[in-house]
């Protein structure tokens, strides 16, 4: 008798009945019930001594009072999935089967016009196809006798109906038009919530489940006040439009992990673009929308952005293809995501602001620091998820679940990566190389034997570990200089990544990754020039500053940082660091105009004179404007 919400004890004692009641549900006032029998007490504890009634009469009266007090804790509308994918009554069996596979469902409602006329189940589809009836219309095989409920039907009636009629799929209708559906999974989830978690009252008077974690306090603690206010404003706008708004994805995940992340993604159960436009108009922001995908970006005057999307579902026409998307519910929208830790959502509407939604065990995996896919075909549909799994694993110190690891190996064995477009693969590699410590995910790729899909000659060994450790040191040193020069750290890592490849293999790798022409030329130039430049740097002894400058001035910051990591000799590292830290910024005080004043006609001689003077300044021979001008005069005199 554990976890009882309310307990009544009825005991006959000679000429009276003793009633004792204890409870913890805020909607049941036990004192009021006891007063009906001449007793009294509090809302959670009461008793009464009853005469002139039998125990059966007392029990029946208590049940009547409970029915008056207790409203259904959930109705069909609360637990149903909406919208529901339907098919027309003229669709063939084969077409219906294809749709079931595409959308990952086992039942499809059949409609004629807007009216629900039947249900077709996957096993019936399979048997009909087996018996060569694939071209027949679904109306010949659909079920036409089934239970259905309205949006206000209490949960207990739905549960009884599905059990008594052995019905796994319960349509929710209004005037015979389907507005949602309830599955056995929905029933089990609601039962779990009802049985294992008591109802509680929150301080604001709104009832909530103990397991339905309210993150309102966490939002206040971990977010700047303006971000929290922005989320509340989103919820208020959603209320005014009659739609539901949710914060989703990495923002929610990182909030629970305790990481700073203000990249907010919002999903709207309704028209996401219309929401974005209305919200932007009230916030003084502008909108960039994409009608094809039902998405929009709200751009605020200070440059801050919020991504808004209509709740969608997606399917893949073939493995490695880009997904096709269609309007759906928040549950379906979350199901299309890569890992359970990314399926969490926070309600933003005012009534339930801050409530966490977790359909797929995301909270558990956040707590256990586990990366888990939602279904077994996840990597087959999109192999790039493997790179993201490894990236998240290493970034957050997580572990990839054992079954998910097996799925990675199976996908690698099937060899779908060669069908993956180079641009998508390169995008994942770029993100991986942009991590704080890219060596870890690269080593993990090697463990799963995935480097070969980038190029067969790529491998991870001791030399790889050494060069990436040196790259980390070089990048850390460069950051400390606080230079104004822009550079791409991922390029330095990419040069280290392909260090072991030949020039021809580098060309093949770039071709596989479909790298754009300008970047391709830059990468191949670095691969071609690096051996010769390395040789020259190792050959010179005690060089002048001007010699170092002349050797390095034509090369990018990224190539020089790569060289600094690649070359083992400390004196050469010192030459490169001197150039990056100081020499590259040395400029002459004099200009061509100063040479004109000396009576020298403009021409090629200007470049020669200025270069010689710059070399003198680099080597410390001249320091001021006067000394530079005198040095120029000396060159001209000679």
Summarize pLDDT for 455-477 with one digit per residue, the tens: 999 999 999 999 999 999 999 99
The pLDDT score that the predictor gives to residue 607 is 86
Question: Does residue 120 sit in the same domain as residue 159?
Answer: yes
Does the structure show a pLDDT above 70 at 114? yes
pTM score: 0.71
Summarize pLDDT for 252-302 with one digit per residue, the tens: 999 999 999 999 999 999 999 999 999 999 999 999 999 888 899 999 999
Question: Does residue 22 sit in the same domain as residue 46?
Answer: yes
Does the structure show a pLDDT above 50 at 207? no
- For the domain that residue 158 is a member of, what is the CATH number? 3.10.580.10
Question: Does residue 65 sit in the same domain as residue 91?
Answer: no
Question: Does residue 437 sit in the same domain as residue 565?
Answer: yes
Q: Is 74 exposed, middle or buried (0-12, 13-18, 19+ CB in 10 A)?
A: middle
Does the structure show a pLDDT above 90 at 600? no
Does the structure show a pLDDT above 60 at 42? yes
CA geometry: angle at 219 spanning 216 and 221, to 5°?
A: 110
Summarize pLDDT for 395-404 with one digit per residue, the tens: 999 999 999 9
Does the structure show a pLDDT above 90 at 189? no
- 374 domain residue, yes or no: no
- 391 domain residue, yes or no: no
Higher pLDDT, 195 or 566: 566
Question: Does residue 221 sit in the same domain as residue 175?
Answer: no
Structural domain total, the chain = 5
Higher pLDDT, 457 or 336: 457
Question: Does residue 633 sit in the same domain as residue 547?
Answer: no
- For the domain that residue 527 is a member of, what is the CATH number? 1.10.3090.10
Long-range contacts: 397-404, Cβ < 8 Å, 24+?
A: 397/369, 398/341, 398/369, 398/370, 398/371, 399/369, 399/370, 399/371, 400/370, 400/371, 401/365, 401/370, 401/371, 401/372, 403/372, 404/371, 404/372, 404/373
Which residues constitute the domain of residue 617?
Answer: 592-637
Question: Does residue 51 sit in the same domain as residue 126?
Answer: no
Run of H or E including 290? strand 286-290
- 528 domain residue, yes or no: yes
Question: Does residue 297 sit in the same domain as residue 170?
Answer: no
């Amino acid at each position: 008798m554990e976890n009882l919400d309310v307990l009544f004890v009825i005991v006959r004692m000679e000429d009276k009945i003793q009633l004792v009641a204890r409870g913890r549900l805020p909607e049941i006032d036990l004192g009021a019930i006891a007063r009906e029998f001449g007793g009294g007490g509090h809302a959670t504890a009461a008793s009464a001594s009853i005469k002139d009634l039998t125990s059966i009469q007392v029990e029946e009266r208590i049940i009547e009072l409970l029915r008056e007090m207790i409203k259904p804790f959930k109705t069909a509308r609360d637990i149903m999935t909406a919208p529901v994918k339907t098919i027309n009554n003229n669709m063939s069996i084969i077409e219906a089967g294809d749709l079931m596979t595409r959308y990952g469902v086992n039942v499809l409602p059949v409609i004629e016009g807007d009216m629900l006329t039947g249900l077709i189940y996957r096993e019936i589809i399979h048997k009909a196809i087996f018996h060569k009836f694939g071209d027949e219309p679904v109306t010949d095989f659909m079920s036409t006798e089934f239970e259905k409920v309205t949006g206000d039907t209490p949960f207990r009636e739905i549960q009884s109906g599905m059990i008594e009629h052995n019905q796994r799929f319960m349509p929710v209708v209004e005037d015979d038009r389907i507005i949602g559906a309830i599955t056995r999974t929905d029933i089990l989830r609601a039962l779990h919530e009802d049985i294992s978690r008591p109802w509680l009252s929150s301080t604001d008077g709104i009832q909530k489940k103990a397991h339905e974690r309210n993150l309102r306090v966490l939002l206040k603690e971990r977010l700047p006040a303006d971000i929290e206010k922005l989320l509340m404003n989103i919820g208020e706008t959603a209320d005014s439009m009659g739609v539901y708004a949710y914060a989703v994805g990495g923002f929610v995940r990182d909030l629970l992990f305790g990481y700073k992340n203000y990249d907010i993604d919002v999903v709207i159960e309704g028209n996401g673009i219309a929401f974005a436009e209305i919200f932007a108009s009230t916030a003084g922001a502008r909108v960039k929308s994409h009608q094809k995908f039902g998405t929009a970006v709200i751009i605020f005057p200070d440059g801050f952005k919020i991504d808004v999307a209509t709740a969608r579902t997606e399917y893949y026409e073939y493995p490695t293809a880009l997904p096709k998307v269609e309007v759906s519910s928040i549950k379906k929208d979350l199901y299309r995501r890569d890992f359970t830790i990314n399926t969490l959502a926070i309600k933003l509407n005012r009534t339930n602001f801050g409530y966490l939604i977790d359909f797929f065990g995301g909270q558990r995996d956040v707590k256990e620091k586990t990366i888990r896919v939602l279904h077994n075909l996840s990597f087959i549909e999109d192999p790039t998820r493997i790179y993201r799994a490894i990236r998240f694993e290493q970034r957050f110190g997580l572990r990839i679940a054992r079954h998910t690891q097996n799925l990675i190996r199976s996908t690698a064995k099937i060899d779908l990566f060669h069908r993956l477009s180079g641009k998508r693969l390169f995008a994942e590699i770029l993100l991986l190389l942009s991590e704080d410590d890219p060596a870890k995910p690269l080593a993990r790729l090697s463990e799963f034997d995935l480097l070969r899909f980038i190029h067969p000659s790529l491998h991870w060994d001791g030399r790889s570990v050494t060069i990436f450790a040196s790259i980390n040191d070089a990048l850390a040193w460069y950051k400390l200089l606080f230079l104004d020069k822009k550079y791409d750290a991922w390029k330095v890592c990419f040069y280290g990544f392909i260090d072991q490849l030949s020039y021809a293999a580098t060309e093949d790798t770039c071709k596989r990754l479909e790298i754009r022409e300008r970047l391709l030329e830059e990468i191949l130039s670095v691969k071609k020039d690096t051996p010769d430049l390395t040789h020259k740097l190792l050959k010179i002894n005690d060089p002048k500053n001007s010699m170092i400058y002349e050797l390095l001035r034509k090369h990018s910051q990224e190539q020089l940082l790569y060289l600094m990591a690649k070359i083992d000799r400390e004196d050469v590292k010192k030459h490169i660091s001197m150039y990056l830290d100081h020499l590259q910024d040395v400029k002459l005080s004099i200009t061509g105009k100063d040479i004109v004043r000396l009576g020298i006609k403009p021409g090629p001689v200007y470049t020669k004179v200025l270069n010689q003077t710059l070399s003198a300044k680099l080597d410390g021979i001249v320091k001021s404007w006067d000394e530079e001008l005198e040095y120029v005069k000396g060159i001209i005199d000679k």
